Amino acid sequence: MFKVFRLKSIVAALLTLGIVAATCISVRYTGAYAVYFNASPRLVPIYSVEREDKLISVTFDCAWGVEHTDDILSALKASGVRATFFMVEFWAKKYPDYVKKIDGAGCEIGTHSATHSYMSKLNAEEIKMELSTSSAAIKEVTGKDPELFRAPFGDYDDELIKTASEQGYYTIQWDVDSLDWKDLSASDIAMRVINGVNSGSIILMHNNGLHTAEALPIILETLKNRGYTFVPVGELIYRENYVINSAGRQQPSR
């Protein structure tokens, strides 16, 4: 009786390993990576990147208005920093001149969806439409295909990340939140960012935060003086031979 029970346990264990291995292979070849909790795979986006060279990225989400965008671009230019801007389709269509300005400043542009909705509530076809039409609006102005995607509200699920990956996008989150959308003071924004950054960090800011442009020069110069170098997200991340851990930290495969 004991032998039969043991044999059944071994068979069950082998079947479980087989299922997990098959899932890993499936996920690996879509370009997305799984994090396992109790043998259940969960896909995660890139929150930060494991690096020892003190490279970091500052990013701006563009969905509402442009009143402070020129000042942000001026601050970036003055510090010699190239940032990444994630644009919603309706914003890009409403402000094509700013899409052109941002691209012309040498900054990187990614999509932030078409409608700024909670995309975990969408099915695969709806997600594909959000990605394709928003990217088309950006390409119409810049001539470039976006490679990066940031989900509105930071809201995602497995379907979203898997579909975005299959469409050729790297899904990007952040590990340093400036909270500039809460209209914090410039000094509060700056200190949140400066104290939160590590090598490989991705900083979240917004193009129309009330005090974002005022805080930006403090952030850029302080972090540069501490030995950090700013690069667009596309130059921060690994494009192949990587894994993503449970905290969303992208790491080179070992």
The residues annotated with a catalytic role in the active site are: 61, 206
CA–CA separation, 165 and 162 (whole Å): 5
**Gap between the terminal Cα atoms of the chain:** 44
Q: Which of 109, 72, 117, 74 is nearest to 92 (CA)?
A: 109
